[in-house]
Amino acid sequence: MADSKPEPEQARTRVLALLARHGWNTTSFQVLEPGNRYWFGDDACVAYVEAGHVWVTSGAPIAARERLAEVADAFIAAAREAGRKAVFFGVEAPFVEAATNLVGFKIGEQPVWDPQTWSNTLRSSRSLREQLRRARAKNVTVRVVDSAELGPGTALREAVTTLVERWLASRPMAPMGFLVNIEPFAFATHRRYFIAEREGRVVGFLAAVPIYGRAGWFFEDLLRVPEAPNGTVELLVDFGMTTVAQDGARFATLGMVPLAGVGGRLAWIRDHARALYDFGGLDAFKQKLKPVAREPIHVVHARDIGAFRSVLAVLTAFARGSLLRFGVATLARGGPNMLRLLGGLLVPWTALLALAAPRLFPSDVVRVAWVAFNALLACLLFVLARHYRLSLGRVVVALATIAGVATWAHAIWVVPRLVGPLELIALLLGCLAPACGTTIAIGALRRYRRLQPLH
């Protein structure tokens, strides 16, 4: 059976017992985080989210390896009974090899490490040792933290929560859901926690979750505050690898690099989406840590759904159910590329104002003032995109607000003087643009306020 609502805590406890026996997929422990639904079979489970009319799984079925194909077929049948399609996201080689009646494609690669050989990795990488030296020279220290220290209401938990919020604010995209939810305190006693501190303040955080079927660990949440010294993240990874190695672990990963090692249209998307997500930068960082191997990660689906719809469903899952809402939220964050885009759009608009018919302005002085105002605003946006300063950000918010009020006042004056539908469309765009610009400017100001160093 498959429930239409997220399962209660008792169901997650049942899933945890299955994970201890069959959880070999890197994402297996993440199925315990809020938001997942569960389909249960005989000694098996599939965790999924609903994206439109598609059930998108959080990795492979949680089942014995010899039953993977059988469980997948049963889940697909259950989805069809409910009027849904099924897509298996983030699956690894054992499932791909077992599910021979399904089709799929590579969606990225997962760098992996053997913690037992991490000391050799350090010896062979001068650049990695240098990063560790830089962090230590800035008095950054890392320690293991017991889950009790991160209990509700504790000072350390509040500090980590603030770190998470500031890290999310530093991202150009709105917070995503599905497998990239940051839920570091769920089933805390099963996790390993590492805290990086400097002068008594938390500057970095690592939460690792178990991969029971591989006797390994997934370094799921690896975060730092913007002002953390260089090498803080590397120091966390080093301490984490050394600690789990002492426990006998032979496998560790920092998770998938999306679109790494892909070709065709997916490679085109990777290369042209850098303004929103730096796939290459993420890959370069993980490669700098010298993984011992890179494992392919796939999307697998039934033949009746197709690759395009599968990708769309996966994206919708990560967008928390709505690509449109996610896109608007990302625009409103006012990241550097959004500010640069806004400034770029002002350039042709300013040129159109300069070339517009004289009857659309009360006087030449008003026209010149509009052109000069927009040119100034565009320049300020480009400056902010390169290096954001709060004082200048406040000025831009004020100017954008003034532009919005003035545009509507001018629109009321100019309506009787319009000739033809094109001028009306231009006027409507001219009225909407300042509202969007003000929203982006305010979003940027709020975002960068949260990124300021804490005292």
Buried b (16+ CB within 10 A) or exposed e, 249-269: bebbbbbbbbbbbbeeebeee
Look at strands 140-145 and 192-198 and give their pairing: antiparallel
CB 114 within 8 A of CB 245: no
Structure pTM?
0.87
Distance CA 303, CA 309 (A): 11
How high is the mean pLDDT of the chain? 91
Same domain, 123 and 228: yes
Query: In the numeric block, which tokens belong to residue 386?
Result: 């390169």
In a domain, residue 289? The reply is no
| Per-residue model confidence as pLDDT tens digits over 248-260 | 999 999 999 999 9
Closest CA to 65 of 21, 111, 1: 21
Residue 425 clears pLDDT 90, i.e. is over it: no
Classify residue 425: in a domain, yes or no: yes
Mean pLDDT in residue range 357-380: 91
Domain boundary among 312, 330, 348: 330
Looking at the structure of the chain, the number of domains it has is: 3
For the ranges 145-159, 217-231, 326-340, the lowest mean pLDDT is seen at 326-340
Indicate if the pLDDT at residue 198 is higher than 50.
Answer: yes
Question: How confident is the model at residue 335, as a pLDDT?
Answer: 86
Pair (352, 312) in one structural domain: no
Given 222, 254, 286, which residue is the final one in a domain?
254
In this prediction, residue 105 carries a pLDDT of: 94
Residue 324 falls inside a structural domain: yes
Q: Are residues 119 and 243 in the same domain?
A: yes
**Sign (positive/negative) of CA torsion 269, 271, 277, 280?**
positive
Residues 223 and 135 in one domain: yes
Task: Say whether pLDDT at 301 is over 70.
Answer: yes
Q: What is the pLDDT of residue 2?
A: 46
Q: Which token pair is 438?
A: 């003000």
CATH for 148: 3.40.630.30
Q: What is the pLDDT of residues 207-243, one digit of tens each?
A: 999 999 999 999 999 999 999 999 999 999 999 999 9
Residue 443, Cβ density class (10 Å: 0-12 exposed, 13-18 middle, ≥19 buried): buried
Q: Are residues 56 and 178 in the same domain?
A: no
Structure-derived torsion over alpha carbons of residues 257, 298, 252, 18, reported in degrees to the nearest 10: 140
Q: Are residues 40 and 139 in the same domain?
A: no
Tokens found for residue 64: 């014995």
Domain span at residue 141 reads 115-254
Task: Return all residues near 422 (Cβ < 8 A) that are at least 6 apart.
Answer: none
pLDDT computed for residue 3 by the predictor:
44
Q: Are residues 83 and 137 in the same domain?
A: no
- Among the candidates 269, 303, 330, a domain finishes at 330
Please name which of 383, 430, 171 lies closest in space to residue 278, comparing C-alpha atoms. 171
Q: How far apart are CA 421 and CA 319, in angstroms?
A: 37
The reply to whether 275 falls in a domain is no
Residues 93 and 167 in one domain: no
Radius of gyration of the chain (CA): 26
Q: Would residue 402 count as lying in a domain?
A: yes
Tokens of 405: 């009020």
d(CA 254, CA 359): 62
267 belongs to a structural domain: no
Rounded-to-integer distance, Cα 175 and Cα 178, Å = 10
Domain co-membership, 232 together with 303: no
* Contact in structure between 397 and 438 (CB atoms under 8 Å): yes
Task: Specify if 45 maps to a domain.
Answer: yes
Residues 315 and 439 in one domain: no
Q: Are residues 9 and 139 in the same domain?
A: no
Asked whether residue 128 is domain-assigned, the answer is yes
Domain identity same for 324 and 339: no
In the block, tokens 């990241």 appear at 335
Which pair of tokens denotes residue 163? Answer: 């770190």
pLDDT at 5 > cutoff 70:
no
Q: Which of 201, 233, 232 is nearest to 138 (CA)?
A: 232
How many helices, marked H, and strands, marked E, lie in the chain? Answer: 15, 12
How far is it between the farthest Cα atoms of the chain? 80
b/e string for 332-369 if b means 16 or more Cβ within 10 A?
bbbbeebbbbbbeebeebbeebeebeeebbeeeeebee
